Amino acid sequence: MKELIYTAIFVGLGILLIMLLLFMFLPKKEKDKSVETMKYVAGVYTSSILFHDSTLDVQVIVDENRINSISLVNLNETVTTMYPLVEPALEEVSDQIIKTQSVENISYQADNQYTTIMLLNAVENVLEKAEIDAAAEE
């Protein structure tokens, strides 16, 4: 009779040990969810805009989940003189984009709408480069 009790206890402990090992070493699905929340590949991205003979770059710095800054690179005096609304338009747009973390529903003044639209298109192109391609990861 003692032998049956000892056997039942050892079988119960064996099953408990197997369940514990499975629980400890099976991969958790929470790791997959953290990858899905990432929107961008962190880095510095640029897109070029051609103003007649001059080219300037819109630079966007992103981390995994946020747009951190938007700035103009290679902005020379000729472009600043010929297009004085470029810098104020980008400052206005970049403040809104960083605040909302989106390029949708950005408001701008009527006197610089064409400049703003060109800058917004450049920022959209940059963010498309920075976005994580979910289909490529699977």
Mean pLDDT, consecutive 10-residue stretches, the chain (138 aa), reads: 91 94 81 64 92 87 92 88 88 93 89 89 92 60
**Domain span holding position 13:** 2-36
Residues 55 and 31 in one domain: no
Residues 90 and 47 in one domain: yes
Model pLDDT, residue 13: 95
Strand partners, 44: 61
73 touches 57 (CB < 8 A): yes
**pTM attached to this predicted model:** 0.68
What's 49's domain CATH number? 3.90.1010
Model pLDDT, residue 36: 53
Residues 12 and 73 in one domain: no
Count Cα atoms within 13 angstroms, Cβ side, for 52: 4
